[in-house]
Amino acid sequence: MRKSEASKAPARRVGVDEILPEYDFSRARPNKYASRYAKGSIVITLDPDVAAVFPGTRQANEALRALAGLIRKHQPRRTASRQSA
């Protein structure tokens, strides 16, 4: 056994609610972009090829709303008898 291995202290078990010692948040700062997101909004990351199609957020939302309308229109309607079954 090497000398360096013998002198190592045994690893301390860390509780579920504890932060590991190697994570240092002492110099952390609040996210300066957080105020740009409205409350209740959801952030979705688009693949680069999809994002390239839309010049901005408004256009992407308009396209998604149009697609959502088509999906709703073509979904089979449930009848009361099928819902209770």
Local structure of 44: helix, strand or coil? coil
Question: Looking at residue 16, what is its pLDDT?
Answer: 77
Instruction: Determine the structural domain holding residue 73 and report its residue range.
Output: 17-84
CB 53 within 8 A of CB 67: no
4 occurs within a structural domain: no
CA dihedral (43, 48, 49, 55) positive or negative:
positive
CB–CB of 62/56 below 8 Å? no
Per-residue pLDDT, 1:
54
Is the entire prediction scored with pTM above 0.75? no
For the chain, residues with pLDDT lower than 50 are none
Overall number of domains in the chain: 1
